[in-house]
Amino acid sequence: MALKTNIAQLNLYLQRQASSHSRYALEQILYLLMSWIPSIVGITIRALFYRLILKMDGWVAIENGVRLRFADHIRLGHGAYLDKGTYLHACPNGIDIGPNTIVMYGALLHVYNFRELPHSHIHIGRDCLIGEYTVIRGQGGVDIGDRVYSSPFVQIIAVNHVFDDRERPFVDQGITAEGIIIEDDVWLGSGSIITDGVRIGQGSVVAAGAVVTHDVAPYTVVGGVPARLIREIGVNNDQVEDKIIYMAKTSF
């Protein structure tokens, strides 16, 4: 009996790591041989050989110490960068990271679909920055547009527990997973939390520490717990004459 239980637990573990036992073996062998190699040497080796387990459009940079699960459901656009310590757990429906997007140290992108949720995925557009220790959970689907920046410790959580019945533990009441949409050119401040079912409008800014529980209109600044409108961008109050502004270099 104990042996059967142990085998069942082992199979459950493997089912939550890769698409099949053979895929698990292939992925783990490559990680064992190549995931630890530092510097530009390791980045080059992984750019060549990780094509065997995930989808790459052109050349990407994957630092040492990156953890990937369900790698065959991950696609990286040309110029994408995964910093050391990042963790991508794709599950079916997968993770799609656009061209020139940077995922910084310690970020966690987790689709985590073991309930056959129909819309689970994470899609990130081009030229985005996912800050250090950002957490994105895509059970209900997370769609992030282009040029979206998340500061460190942001949480984007497309799932919620049901807890209405006091007679039952919340773990027995199921979940909701409505999904999150973040449109182009959004800046999410450090420590902000985006809850399930929310749409963040184009060009908006979410202040540090805000908890967003409702949709955010385009070109607005919101902050607080729960987040409320602070001001509209570009309406009389965006005077920057006294500020020193530094622009990104566009050529060398």
What pLDDT is stored for residue 83 in this prediction?
A: 98
Q: Averaged over 119-130, what is the pLDDT?
A: 96
Confidence class for position 117, pLDDT limits 50, 70, 90: confident
Q: What is the pLDDT of residues 12-51, one digit of tens each?
A: 788 888 888 899 999 999 999 999 999 999 999 999 999 9
What pLDDT is stored for residue 23 in this prediction?
A: 93
Confidence class for position 223, pLDDT limits 50, 70, 90: very high
**Is 17 part of a structural domain of the chain?**
yes
Give the containing element (helix H, strand E) for 108. Answer: strand 108-110
**Is 177 part of a structural domain of the chain?**
yes
The number of distinct structural domains making up the chain is 1
CATH number at residue 66: 2.160.10.10
Q: Averaged over 134-138, what is the pLDDT?
A: 97
**Is 244 part of a structural domain of the chain?**
no
Instruction: State the pTM of this model.
Output: 0.92
Q: Averaged over 202-219, what is the pLDDT?
A: 98
From edge to edge, which strands make up the β-sheet containing 199-200?
55-56, 74-76, 95-97, 122-124, 142-144, 180-182, 199-200
Confidence class for position 250, pLDDT limits 50, 70, 90: low
Q: Averaged over 105-131, what is the pLDDT?
A: 91
**Is 133 part of a structural domain of the chain?**
yes
Q: Averaged over 112-120, what is the pLDDT?
A: 80
Least confident of 96-100, 116-120, 180-184, 220-224: 116-120
**Is 245 part of a structural domain of the chain?**
no
Q: Averaged over 147-174, what is the pLDDT?
A: 94
DSSP 183-215: -TT-EE-TT-EE-TT-EEPTT-EE-TT-EE-S-
CB 79 within 8 A of CB 102: no
CB 212 within 8 A of CB 195: yes
1, two tokens: 């009996």
What pLDDT is stored for residue 13 in this prediction?
A: 82
Report the share of the chain in percent with pLDDT over 70.
96
CB 222 within 8 A of CB 206: yes
What pLDDT is stored for residue 12 in this prediction?
A: 78
- How, if at all, do strands 220-223 and 228-232 pair? antiparallel
Q: Averaged over 48-74, what is the pLDDT?
A: 96
Calculate the alpha carbon distances from 1 to 11, 12, 14, 71 in Å: 15, 17, 20, 34
**243 or 196, higher pLDDT:** 196
Q: Averaged over 183-193, what is the pLDDT?
A: 98
Q: Is 250 helix (H, G, I), strand (E, B) or coil?
A: coil
- Say how many Å lie between the first and final Cα of the chain, rounded: 67
Q: From CA 57, how far away is CA 79, in angstroms rounded? A: 9
Active site residue 161: yes
What pLDDT is stored for residue 252 in this prediction?
A: 40
Confidence class for position 239, pLDDT limits 50, 70, 90: low
Q: From CA 210, how far away is CA 206, in angstroms rounded? A: 7
What pLDDT is stored for residue 247 in this prediction?
A: 85
Q: Averaged over 227-242, what is the pLDDT?
A: 81
In the predicted structure, residue 82 carries a pLDDT above the cut 90? yes
**Is 7 part of a structural domain of the chain?**
yes
Find the domain containing 152 and state its range: 2-232
Amino acid at 58: G
**Average pLDDT value for the chain:** 92
